[in-house]
Structure 1
């Protein structure tokens, strides 16, 4: 069995200071920005994935320790490990991973951390369960929980199940944060890839009032003529 310290040593050994500066700017770590105080050491996601593959036997309590680390790539490593463990876990283990995940949303605190884990863990666990927890997350004051709520439905969109995506999109429709507007638009676009008529039906009664960023993401795959129609107020 490996420990949080084992993973941390392996991740830190791959640190790239020049890359860290680029990532810090990209993920908005400046004062007053959404990623303020997030610390990057400069490791791209593919490399983090590669390292994590060697530590998939790490106990959940050790991954939780890692998830509390201020270094972004270490939190990412913990989440990627949880995702891989979830895929092969039995029902009890999946439940434990899910509850650990939702107990630590304060540390899943950047959009890439959410986007690489929420659908697999939260969407995966709740797929055949009561979906009420997603609606509680959607109404949270924490933007990361709001983003988890909508991105988690990606798991179901892939299987042609759109009801929760559209219902949560309605809850978040007038959200003021750009990261939420983009996430909702992204998931609406994914719905449209599977069922364009369903997406258009949703948009037809909302597009005039929707935030423009959200709408642009939602109609990105539409023809130029269709985009012009929906971008009209």
Structure 2
């Protein structure tokens, strides 16, 4: 299988490698029990996505329609693989991702694709959308905002990521706090003094885990 071109090809490949044991393992970590699980180990899911990285975006869109966890993981992984390619149409990838934001609704869908698909596209653009997401009532939108910022931090641009951390410092959601901690750690690796200033000013608002993660850069 050199390249997957359709959503049906992906489902067939996933179902061919599914197991009852893997399905039970994945179901235990689902944050939304309405999400169906085929039962495919993540290494296989990512390999199927890699082999299908040339898939047209309209077929990726169809993958996102699926209620199956692995189908949508393949979709976001393909978007990530496409974003890595030289000459990638980052605007098209970003627009699809944002249009289907409602389908990117687990922590690992976000972590798998938001940095390169969203953050990379926004490197040289206004980041208003990230601030809108950071103020959303939806926990996945808030996690998206800070996770997309990872790529911006990597570029050495710290102002907006720090402002996002400020908004999310006292977020009540554990799955948002964990990535605030990661963002702060990466900020500290670029500019220790700015992390120190943030922790002095806002450290008490962070969860204990986020604070510990951030301090590993000191």
Q: Is the pair's TM-score, using the shorter chain for normalization, greater than 0.5?
A: yes
- Contact kept, 8 Å, 2:177 with 2:206, in 1: the verdict is no
Instruction: Give matches, 1:49-198, under 5 Å.
Output: 49-88=46-85, 90=87, 93-198=89-194
* CA deviation map 1:81-136 (0-9, x unaligned): 11112233646x32121111011111111111100100010001111111111111
- Does 1:36 pair with 2:33? yes
Measured after TM superposition, the shift of residue 211 of structure 1 is: 2.5
Structure 1 residue matching 2:37: 3-state secondary structure: coil
Whether the 8 Å CA contact 2:73–2:109 is kept in 1: the answer is: yes
Partner SS for 2:84: helix
CA-CA distance at 1:137 after TM superposition: 1.1
CA contact (8 A) 2:145 2:164 kept: yes
Identify, as 1 or 2, the structure richer in helix. Answer: 2
> For 1:17, which of 15, 20, 34 is the aligned residue?
20
1:199 corresponds to 2:202: no
Q: Deviations over 1:169-198 (max 9, x none)?
A: 111111111100111111111112222221
Q: In the TM superposition, what whole-angstrom CA distance separates every residue of 1:131-181 from its partner, at most 9, and x where no partner exists?
A: 111111111121111111101111121222211111001111111111001
Shift of 1:45: 2.6
- For residue 38 of structure 1, report the CA deviation from its aligned partner: 2.0
Contact 2:192–2:217, Cα closer than 8 Å, also in 1? no
Q: 1:45 aligns with which of 34, 42, 47?
A: 42
Q: Which runs of 5+ in 2 are unaligned?
A: none
TM-score w.r.t. length of structure 2: 0.91
Large movers: runs of 4+ above 4 Å: none
Alignment length (residue pairs): 215
Aligned with 2:180: secondary structure? helix
RMSD: 1.7
1:230 is aligned to: none
Aligned partners of 2:53 and 2:81 also within 8 Å = yes
Measure how far apart 1:52 and its partner are. 1.7
**What TM-score do the two structures reach when normalised by structure 1?**
0.86
Which runs of 5 or more structure 1 residues have no equivalent in the other structure?
Answer: 223-233
